Amino acid sequence: MLIAGNWKMHKGPEETAHFCRRLREHARPSDVDVVVCPPSVSLATAVQVLAGTDVAVAAQNVHWDDEGAFTGEVSAPMLRELGVYGAIVGHSERRQHFGETDESVARRARAALEAGLSVIACVGESGAAREAGETEDVLRRQVSVLERDENLVVAYEPVWAIGTGKTATPELAQEAHAFIKTLLDVPVLYGGSVKPDNAAELLGQPDVDGALVGGASLEVDSFLAICRAATRS
């Protein structure tokens, strides 16, 4: 079971250090893998404070080239040098606001995996696509560009549940996860307004292998509660 906290554009280095110090104070069950994903400016701080623990640090994005004229981007070798464990690619906010495509997601994932990073590749349908009965078509297209790798996991994040407070029912999540696994044999996380009060039921579904947590990962107590829910699932 993997629980990853995507902090998005929250927590500079000082706040990151405070969060990570509190996180390392709490003993965690060994059967849950925990990852925090701070903004780029806070990655080094998180790696330093969490050194010697089992909590891994991942980036929120990664470029497909090792270096070059790509202002604002960060490469896989740079992340490896920092001691970063992995990276998220293809988050719905990257697709929506920054022109991310299935092809660019595939290039980012491939480069990160080849560099030895673990990858959380995000897929998911919009509300309009779900209402039109196109969920499987969207997932099939997005997953088709990814290749199985032992360091790859997929995160199913229904776009209509990102930052909206809406959550897919456990049954809807299970259905989507089971379908994704017919396309690609990798673990699948659920992402979409995961909170302490719904985590256990979502994580208890047979094809849900963990969670990519957004807003609820910004508070230590909330994040730990979700980690504890994972141990009971």
Domains of the chain, CATH where assigned: 2-231 (3.20.20.70)
Could you count the other beta carbons within 10 Å of the beta carbon of residue 138? 17
Buried b (16+ CB within 10 A) or exposed e, 204-223: ebebbbbbbbbbbbbebebb
Among candidates 165, 232, 151, which has minimal Cα distance to 195?
A: 165
Side-chain-facing half-sphere of 221: CA atoms under 13 Å: 0
Over 60: is that where the pLDDT of 165 sits?
yes
Over 70: is that where the pLDDT of 29 sits?
no
Average pLDDT over residues 18-46: 91
pLDDT at 164: 66
Which residues are known catalytic residues?
91, 157
Buried b (16+ CB within 10 A) or exposed e, 90-107: bbbbbbeeeebebebbbb
pLDDT at 128: 87
> pTM here?
0.95
Percent of the chain with pLDDT over 70: 96
Task: Choose between 161 and 18: higher pLDDT.
Answer: 18
